[in-house]
């Protein structure tokens, strides 16, 4: 078996040339940080569009993105959101934040931890969000970390808000998300590397999976 670190210089250059520097940064972060990244490729635009589908941009006042990475969902958020919607992008990795700030100047990009979402919003005078869009690899987090991120998201969403989560393992975590939310649906996105999908979750009510 080839160990990731044994990738040859030629392979590295070829990968970088084929996919571009952002794709390469994601691959590197995946091998260095493992479970906090949990994906070797940024989401496709098909997945990014699916996670935003059906959002009422006239009504949505605040939309939060957690775990933006190199920004494929952020890009679609900016395209879709109108002037009434405040976007707050939370990403804990400083290198990804640098990429995001360069790509999306003027956007509110917070280098911080999703667990502190209430503080991040309070600093902006915001109490509630209408949607939390998550690119976080929640299933690979410890149950304690996952619980705190999901309960924090639920707190800032309020009873009517919606939590949306990408996945690159279609249907596998349906039971997991159903243990946190009363109303969960899943939409497949085959055009992603690997094929993925989105969980749409409402009505936080945590039970043991």
Q: Are 74 and 68 in contact (CB under 8 A)?
A: yes
**CA distance linking residue 156 with residue 128, whole number of Å:** 5
Should residue 196 be labelled a site residue for ligand SAM when binding is judged by CB under 6 A?
A: no
Q: Stretches 6-14, 97-105, 109-117, 194-202: which one binds ligand SAM (CB under 6 A)? A: 109-117
User: Of the two residues 60 and 133, which places its CB atom closer to ligand SAM in the complex?
Assistant: 133
Residues 23-42 that bind ligand SAM (CB under 6 A): 36-39, 42
User: Of the two residues 69 and 197, which places its CB atom closer to ligand SAM in the complex?
Assistant: 69
Should residue 91 be labelled a site residue for ligand SAM when binding is judged by CB under 6 A?
A: yes
Residue 56: which of 36, 39, 81 has the closest Cα? 81
- 181-187: long-range contacts at Cβ-Cβ below 8 A with a sequence spacing of 24 or more? 181/205, 187/50, 187/53
x-or-dash string of contact with ligand SAM, 145-184, rule CB under 6 A: ---------------------x------------------
137 to 40, 60, 66, 151, 175: CA distances (angstroms): 12, 25, 10, 16, 16
**CA distance linking residue 42 with residue 51, whole number of Å:** 14
CB of 108 to ligand SAM, least distance (A): 14
Helix (H) or strand (E) holding 178: helix 174-178
CB of 164 to ligand SAM, least distance (A): 12
Q: Which residues bind ligand SAM (CB under 6 A)?
A: 36-39, 42-43, 66-69, 72-73, 90-93, 96, 113-115, 135-137, 166
């Amino acid at each position: 078996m080839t160990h990731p670190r044994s990738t040859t210089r030629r392979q590295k250059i070829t990968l970088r040339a084929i996919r571009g520097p952002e794709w390469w940064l994601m691959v590197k972060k995946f091998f260095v940080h493992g479970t906090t990244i949990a994906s070797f490729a940024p989401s496709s635009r098909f997945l990014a569009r699916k996670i935003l589908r059906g959002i009422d941009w006239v009504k949505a006042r605040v939309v939060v993105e957690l775990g933006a990475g190199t920004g494929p969902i952020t890009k679609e958020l900016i395209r879709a959101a109108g002037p009434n919607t405040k976007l707050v992008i939370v990403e804990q990795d400083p290198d990804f934040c640098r990429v995001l700030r360069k790509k999306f100047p003027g956007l509110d990009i917070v280098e911080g931890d999703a667990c502190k979402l209430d503080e991040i919003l309070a600093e902006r005078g915001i109490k509630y969000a209408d949607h939390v869009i998550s690119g976080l690899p929640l299933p690979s987090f410890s149950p304690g970390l996952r619980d705190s991120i999901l309960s924090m998201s639920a707190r800032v969403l309020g009873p009517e808000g919606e939590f949306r989560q990408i996945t690159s393992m279609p249907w596998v975590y349906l039971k997991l998300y159903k243990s946190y939310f009363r109303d969960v649906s899943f939409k497949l996105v085959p055009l992603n590397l690997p094929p993925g999908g989105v969980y749409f979750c409402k009505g936080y009510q945590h039970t043991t999976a």
